[in-house]
Amino acid sequence: MVSRKLRCVVCGRVFYEGQGIKISIAGKDLHFHSKSCALKFFKSLILYIDQKELERAVKATISEYEERLKELEEKSQKKIEAL
Ligand SMILES: [Zn+2]
């Protein structure tokens, strides 16, 4: 089976399917050859988002990760107590 050739939407580098990063967003499949190109893309993307919406999205994302961290901390706390 021949791998499909893909092109990084940020830097234009050509790479084979299975390498790089694929992100499906807003009905589009985006291909990036590296994490740094994906990060560049998303840094530009957020500038086009409505600031109010962005504020809400940032808050929601922060609390999602705070929840996750809290769970992890509680789990490690339980492990320590079990010792
Ligand atoms: Zn790239």
For residue 23, CA distances in Å to 8, 28, 73, 78, 82 come to: 12, 8, 30, 36, 41
- State which residues form the domain around 6: 1-48
Q: What is the pLDDT confidence band of residue 1, given thresholds at 50, 70 and 90?
A: low
In a shared domain, residues 13 and 30: yes
- Ligand 1 mean position to 68 CA, how many Å? 30
5 and 14 Cβ atoms separated by less than 8 Å: yes
> Could you read off the pLDDT of 5-49 as tens digits, one per residue?
999 999 999 999 999 999 999 999 999 999 999 999 999 999 999
- Ligand 1 mean position to 41 CA, how many Å? 10
In a shared domain, residues 2 and 25: yes
C-beta contacts of 41-49 below 8 A and 24+ residues apart: 41/9, 41/10
In a shared domain, residues 12 and 39: yes
- Ligand 1 mean position to 29 CA, how many Å? 15
